[in-house]
Structure 1
Amino acid sequence: MQTDTLTYLIISGVIALLLALFQYAYKSKIKGKRAWFLTTLRFITYFSIFVLLVNPKFDKVTYYNEKPNLVVAVDNSESVSYLKQSQTTTDFIETLKSNQELNENFNLEFYSFGKEISPSEAYTFDEKQSNLALVFDRLSEVYNNAISPTLLISDGNQTYGTDYAYMTKRYKQPIFPVILGDTTTFTDIKIQQLNVNRYAFLKNKFPVEIIATYNGNTAVNTQLKVSKGNTTVFSMPLSFSKTETSQIITFTLPANRVGVTSYKADVIALENEKNTINNVKNFAVEVIDQKTNVAIVSELLHPDLGALKKSIESNEQRKAEILNTEEFLKKSNDFQLVIVYQPTTNIEKLYAEIDRLKLNKIIVTGIKTNWNVLNTLQSSYKQVLTNQTEDYQPSLNQNYATFSVDNLNFSEFPPLKSEFGEIKFSVPFETILYKSINGEQIDTPLLATFETNDKREALLLGEGIWRWRAQSYINDKSFNAFDNFIGKLVQYLSTNARKTRLNVNYESFYNGNDNVKITAQFFNKNYEFEDNANLNITLKNQDNDEIQSFPFVLKNNRYEVDLSGLGAGNYTFTVKVNTENFSTSGELKILDYNVEQQFLNANVSKLQSLASNSKGNAYFIDNTTSIIDNLLNDSRFATIQKSTKKVVPLIDWKYLLALIAFSLAAEWFIRKYNGLI
């Protein structure tokens, strides 16, 4: 309590006593014990009221016990059941849940993981992928500030994501791997990896790289065969030994037919080989007869140029080349799309050539754009000149209907720098991204598309898009989302196909472990997106004539259907709008491949290394009797007594109000009883 407060309380006590004595001692007719008793009651009343006015504050300390968390992350992938560990895993989890002493000393939190991680206490062991790095990435966001030893129940075989061996640098908790499997090794030969481009061009040859590995102690001979249907298109003998455990085989295959072609790579199994599934890998290549060449024309050097080139070339069907105006004019016939970056002076010849060839284009402006020239060379839009710059952040137009645009959390992207002032369009246009200043969206486009004279054009009003690509990588640990966004814009602008009311987006083929998702958009007669349409997809398996039908689900400005549960095979499909007479058809192929069935053993060494680096211990699932005892006896995981200190004002103390009421009531009763009222 502060000195000033204590002084006020002493003064309050003196004043309360003087007032009470003045009423019942000074010239009062009441004498004896009654006078002193009434004086005391009145003193209590006055002093309590004065104390409430002073309102001193007191520290209230509360003690509580905080138990550590015990995080249990369970591998829910198919490899667990393939290694015949699903029942053992389930029994061990039930042991943890039912152990009373463990529950008294820890807050048990259960998670299951495959390609994603989620809180769960039910396990099906049917996930197609396992991403262990994501487990520690997500758990670090929740548990890094509390004592949270972690049980990782897994075989340690990762099929997706970054290497989890280095995640202990981020996840600062002891990790106790419970290893599903044993150290028994089997003679095995397998295709460790197969590398092939997704696309090839007609009448070219495409490269294939196969890495075959061997696990065994004796020298063996076998053969690699690559077949297309019943025809062998490549074969090669292979030899392995205890010291020569891997071979890299590189060859090329011809691309003679447009469309998707499936192949099967097969290493002939050894005698008594336990796992022959990993001897085979199916792959496919889509052969196309054209390639989109994009010219990026600029007289400036800027990081945006490299970012655009990388995004465009992330799709093998596209090639981008950075040129100045003179270089472009020499080879202008080679391109199907032109990106004009920050047009400055001397661009009249460039615009004349683009118009002569009737090429679609993307105009990217910035602080060095010569708007006097640009306003003169075209009539579709005019920028009001202010000779000032402004930073604009993007805001996605959810109603953009020309093609589907995924929301990349654009509002969190860094701003682009651009000319300050209004942009006025003289042609109909559609806005993909609006400008936003300090979180407030303004009704001015940052990125827009429009069509004039059967030509398509996009206008990006700002420089610094390289930062968007970098931010996308920070958000998703991958450039794919941003590159797909640029890819869709380039795809739209590199063709002059007429608009259709029903657009369906899909891949020609999917690997067995891919997410098979098809998206669609349906527009009304004014080409405005319909958000209340009823879309269905009907698939026919060409191998067994089985027919299945699935509804689309509305997600933002598109419809989506998830077909990830489909088996391998060739499918034809029809997407139909039930409310109107619109439909479109196509074909897709799902390749037979299950990455979770490629393993014979747990990755023991990696899990033991993970335990050692995090100051934990590794256990085999068949020897788990000591896990609970070790956790309970580890001094690092003791229950901690903590306290909270709270400053409480006296006015919140209800007993003081009760005391005032009691003293006033008692005084009134005594005076009434003695006839003094």
Structure 2
Amino acid sequence: MEITFSYSPWYLVPAALLIGLGLFFYYFRKPEYTKTQIWTLAALRFLGLLLLCFFLLKPQIVEREIQALKPRLVFLEDLSRSMRYHQDSLALDSMLGAWPAQAETQLNKYQLFSYVFANTLDADSVKEAEFTNIYQALNEVQDRFYGEPLAAAVLLTDGVYNQGRNPLQFAAQSNVPLYILKYGNQEQARDIGIEDLRYNKSLSLGRKLSLEIDLAARNAAGSSFKLEIRNEQKQLVHQANFTVNREEWLESLIVELAADEEGLQSYNVALIQATADANPSNDRREIAFEVRKEAYAIWIYSPQSHPDVAAIRRAIQSEANWEIHYCRNRNELDLKEARVLLAFDWDESLVQEIRDQKIPTLFIAGSQSNLRALQSLDLAKGLNRDAEEQYALTASALGLFALDAEQKALFPSWPPIEGLYGNLEVPAWAEVVLYKQIGNVQSNEALAISGSREGQRLGLLAGRGFWSWRMYNVKNEKQSRAFDQFFRRWVQYLQAQEREEPLQIEFEKELYERSPSRVIAKLYNPGGNLVNEPDLSLKLSGAYGETYDYRFSRESNLYRLKLDGLNPGLYSYTASTRLGDRSYEKRGRIWVQENSLEQQDLRARREMLDAMASQSGGKAYELKDWPQMLTDLAQLDAPEQLNERKIKRELLTKWELFFVVLILISLEWFLRKYWGRY
């Protein structure tokens, strides 16, 4: 037990001195009592007044209580679609029906927690999802119980995953023992199917699409089948015959398809077999791609070699409709062809040309850059050429282009760059893209800005050395998606100047059936400013006459919409709104893909599940042996967790202490009267 105060107990020292001084003048300067009486009366009043001051400091008694908590055990059930395609689903239903009561009885020494998962983790239920992310589910459980050790985790799954990291990585680095119930078909039945399709999602008009097709067959030696590709009008555009000559058969081929019509084109790829196999869902796939009139020329100008040039070039080169040109000679720079310019160096004449021709440009400034030349574009004001280490933070209300929340969260962990010193002024036409952080101190000073100035889209990144962001991204995330997406979307924003339309609708590049997706809409008023005051509606029309009506919600200065539950196929869309006395409408087509990842390969990954259990210190069981697993868990040595709890009680709530003060003051008053002073 200990005593704490809401205010510093050192206040009692001056209080005691003041009380003592007052008693000295009251009792000792004009003695009217004997020496013993004076000291007795002074002591009683001193103690009474000091106790009152003591209580004014709001003292609290802190008592420590030790609680023994039951060890925690988590049950995780895989609810992905693949779990329902195995042959022993009746045994699974029987086990799940008996599990709650049996676990409650045999595992009563644990605190039991149950979750289900597919591509997300939930405490109640999830839809039969099209993706499975076992690693994410296990990692999220570990995060939820951070600081609260788990005795074990029970995992019921077939081991089939198609998103996230290999679950073996979790088992190798986690201290949570995994007790795994292995479920699913161990033997692969006869199956012939489309293993994978690879192609560009967009290309220029007049080119040919190279469609790479991987075909696979298992336990189907001696079978023959036919590959057919048909267009939207059901016309046959390609046909090929195949014969399977071994039990594990793989074949790859490339088919070229004509991109001779602008817009969204779709094709159906199908395998025609004489007899149906065990998994007919992977015999048919649809593809769609966007055909654009032309490719956009993106120019990178840097007279000197720099790793930043290579980093940004790699980030944007995967965009199918961009032609990347890099030049070091000023005379080779073709501004008439350039749809976007990424400039690492410039002088007054180049800036003037960029301004006159309204070339969308991203200026990447360093300590040797000509900052004065940029002031004619209202850029770089407030900066000087001294450099310092600066971290980057994304602007929370960025409206120029969308960034995923996951991507925004990565920026503070990336290495610092050599940012220019000074407080960069943000013109009225621009927005902050990145803020700077120096050391651990966040600031409201801009590191990067962008916007549209008099119809010309411009951007400025006031720092060099961002190649280290990409290296860090690759090293720690095993991919460069966050870095690449940031620069791609920034360049996409700049490139959109030439097709600046008052109403713009942006769908995600890949839409899957029954999977949620996000739609972002932008509305520009006649002054070129983003607004979202008027209501914005979206109408989708399917190939079979079905229609869906939606209304966008507002966020910052954008519109957002969540689509969910769409069936696969081509849809026409119409977005419409009215701003003032003007009506705006945007039409187009989207393609919702059929997602058959969960049905491509239904073999349970038993070897992987055995390895996960072994590496984590747990054990793997067949589904039928789940009662034995309960017995083993009941006998597991899982010590209780001791939890210390502090209980605070205010002394002012103890009425006995009030009587102590009352007695001291009353006794002093009584003795003073009794000894003759009134």
Shorter-chain TM-score above 0.5: yes
- Quote the offset at 1:369 in angstroms: 1.5
Q: Give the alignment partner of residue 126 of structure 1, picking from 111, 123, 128.
A: 128
Matches within 5 A, 1:158-237: 158-216=161-219, 218-229=221-232, 230-237=234-241
Q: Give the alignment partner of residue 266 of structure 1, picking from 270, 275, 286.
A: 270
- Quote the offset at 1:656 in angstroms: 9.3
Tell me, yes or no, if the aligned pair for 1:201 and 1:255 is still in contact at 8 Å.
yes
Tell me, yes or no, if the aligned pair for 2:72 and 2:111 is still in contact at 8 Å.
yes
Normalised by the length of structure 1, the TM-score is 0.78
Tell me, yes or no, if the aligned pair for 1:513 and 1:595 is still in contact at 8 Å.
no
Matches within 5 A, 1:498-509: 499-506=500-507
Q: In the superposition, relative to structure 1, how do residues 638 and 241 fare at CA in structure 2: closer, same or farther (>3 Å)?
A: farther
Q: Secondary structure at the match of 1:105?
A: coil
Where do 5+ consecutive residues of structure 2 fail to align?
2-33, 37-43
Q: Mean Cα displacement is larger for which, 269-278 or 305-314?
A: 269-278
Q: In the superposition, relative to structure 1, how do residues 510 and 384 fare at CA in structure 2: closer, same or farther (>3 Å)?
A: closer
Aligned residue identity for 1:466: W
Q: Secondary structure at the match of 2:625?
A: coil
Asked whether 1:106 is paired with 2:107, we answer: no
Matches within 5 A, 1:49-198: 62-83=65-86, 89=92, 92-93=95-96, 95-98=98-101, 99-102=103-106, 104-118=108-122, 120-121=123-124, 123-143=125-145, 145-148=147-150, 149-198=152-201
Q: Secondary structure at the match of 1:623?
A: helix
Report what 1:463 is aligned to.
464
Report what 1:323 is aligned to.
327
- The percentage of counterpart residues that share the same residue type is 20
Tell me, yes or no, if the aligned pair for 1:506 and 1:518 is still in contact at 8 Å.
yes
Q: Secondary structure at the match of 1:497?
A: helix
Asked whether 1:288 is paired with 2:286, we answer: no
- Quote the offset at 1:626 in angstroms: 1.7
Tell me, yes or no, if the aligned pair for 1:531 and 1:557 is still in contact at 8 Å.
yes
Where do 5+ consecutive residues of structure 1 fail to align?
2-25, 29-41
Normalised by the length of structure 2, the TM-score is 0.78
Q: In the superposition, relative to structure 1, how do residues 322 and 68 fare at CA in structure 2: closer, same or farther (>3 Å)?
A: farther
Query: What is the distance in 1 between the residues matched to 2:619 and 2:331?
Result: 63
Report what 1:335 is aligned to.
338
Matches within 5 A, 1:595-614: 595-614=597-616
Asked whether 1:368 is paired with 2:368, we answer: yes
- Quote the offset at 1:277 in angstroms: 0.9
1:73-130 deviation per Cα after TM superposition (whole angstroms, max 9, x unaligned): 2222222233377776565455443343455322222222222223x12x35421211
Report what 2:448 is aligned to.
446
Query: What is the distance in 1 between the residues matched to 2:531 and 2:451?
Result: 20
Query: What is the distance in 2 between the residues matched to 1:337 and 1:102?
Result: 67
Aligned residue identity for 2:573: F
Aligned residue identity for 1:573: Y
Tell me, yes or no, if the aligned pair for 1:431 and 1:445 is still in contact at 8 Å.
no
- Quote the offset at 1:341 in angstroms: 0.7
Q: Secondary structure at the match of 1:624?
A: helix
Tell me, yes or no, if the aligned pair for 1:375 and 1:381 is still in contact at 8 Å.
yes
1:26-49 deviation per Cα after TM superposition (whole angstroms, max 9, x unaligned): 999xxxxxxxxxxxxx9xx99x99
- Quote the offset at 1:309 in angstroms: 0.8
Q: In the superposition, relative to structure 1, how do residues 64 and 234 fare at CA in structure 2: closer, same or farther (>3 Å)?
A: same
Q: In the superposition, relative to structure 1, how do residues 58 and 199 fare at CA in structure 2: closer, same or farther (>3 Å)?
A: closer
- Quote the offset at 1:576 in angstroms: 2.4
Matches within 5 A, 1:403-482: 404=402, 408-409=407-408, 412=412, 414-421=415-422, 429-433=429-433, 435-437=435-437, 438-442=441-445, 446-452=448-454, 455-469=456-470, 479-482=480-483
Tell me, yes or no, if the aligned pair for 2:371 and 2:384 is still in contact at 8 Å.
no
Q: Mean Cα displacement is larger for which, 402-411 or 266-275?
A: 402-411
Query: What is the distance in 2 between the residues matched to 1:440 and 1:322?
Result: 35
Asked whether 1:568 is paired with 2:568, we answer: yes
Tell me, yes or no, if the aligned pair for 1:86 and 1:125 is still in contact at 8 Å.
no
Report what 1:7 is aligned to.
none
Q: In the superposition, relative to structure 1, how do residues 390 and 185 fare at CA in structure 2: closer, same or farther (>3 Å)?
A: closer
Report what 2:490 is aligned to.
489
- Quote the offset at 1:399 in angstroms: 5.7
Q: Secondary structure at the match of 2:325?
A: strand
Q: Secondary structure at the match of 1:566?
A: coil
1:136-169 deviation per Cα after TM superposition (whole angstroms, max 9, x unaligned): 2323334465442111122211122222222212
Tell me, yes or no, if the aligned pair for 1:398 and 1:556 is still in contact at 8 Å.
no
Query: What is the distance in 2 between the residues matched to 1:326 and 1:440?
Result: 37
Tell me, yes or no, if the aligned pair for 1:383 and 1:421 is still in contact at 8 Å.
no
Asked whether 1:539 is paired with 2:537, we answer: no
Aligned residue identity for 1:254: A
